[in-house]
Amino acid sequence: MNVCVFCGSGSGFNPVYAESARKLGLLLGQASVRLVYGGGNIGLMGIIADAVIDGGGKVTGVIPAFLFEKEVGHRGITDLEVVDSMHQRKQRMADLADAFIALPGGWGTLEELSEILTWKQLGLITQPVALLNTNRFFDPLLHQMRLMVKEGFLNAGNFNLLHVEETPETLLSLLITQKA
């Protein structure tokens, strides 16, 4: 199984985000679930990749050349694919993924999550999509999504395509059960 994780190139101010990313990475590695991610060695991206390796797992990173040239590409992972653009990066990660998880992050994480949810809504992908809602980070976004449903801009069935869990253990269990 390959799980694509979208997450921050920063670690956030609260250490709980790094702890949660590390825990998820260790669990992925121990469960022999391959991590597919943005290929960076910084922030939550670097933390989860290192943890998967520490847990005995394999990691595929996909990074655009312009970021690789800025020396943020993780050279200690199983496979690092360098692509031409951010669009190619997202497509390649989606092509490899059996499931998607978003951890806390910034604009890039939000954009990746939004795009993959749109693809799911349109039937372009069938894989499960989930949030690891560490420290209730995504509560305001979930509130906005519920407002979108209430105001008629998002179908309730499409909102329910998104799985939300607060711990790495319950999230990984959910995804493995769905893929079985």
Tokens 């999550």 sit on residue? 113
Angle, vertex CA 177, rays to CA 33 and CA 159, nearest 5: 100
Alpha helices in the chain, H assignment, sequence order: 15-30, 43-54, 65-69, 86-96, 107-121, 139-150, 156-159, 168-179
CATH code: domain of residue 157? 3.40.50.450
pLDDT digits (tens, 9 = 90+) for 20-31: 999 999 999 999
Q: Which DSSP category does 155 fall into?
A: -
Residue 179's pLDDT is 65
Domain interval for residue 63: 2-175
Residue 84 lies in a domain: yes
In total, the chain counts a number of residues equal to 180
pLDDT at position 99, please?
Answer: 96
Tally of domains within the chain:
1
Query: pTM, whole model, 2 decimals?
Result: 0.95
pLDDT score, position 147: 98
Q: Write the CB contacts of 35 (distance below 8 Å, at least 6 apart in sequence).
A: 2, 3, 5, 25, 28, 29, 48, 49, 52, 57, 58, 59, 60
- Which of 24, 44, 29 lies closest to 130 in space, CA to CA? 24
Low pLDDT (below 70) residues in the chain: 179-180
CA distances from 37 to 31, 41, 139 (A): 17, 11, 23
Strand ordering across the sheet containing 34-37: 79-83, 59-64, 34-37, 2-6, 99-102, 129-132, 162-165
* Residue 180 included in any domain: no
Q: How far is CA 42 from the centre of its chain?
A: 15
Q: Is residue 149 part of a domain?
A: yes
Residue 62 belongs to a domain: yes
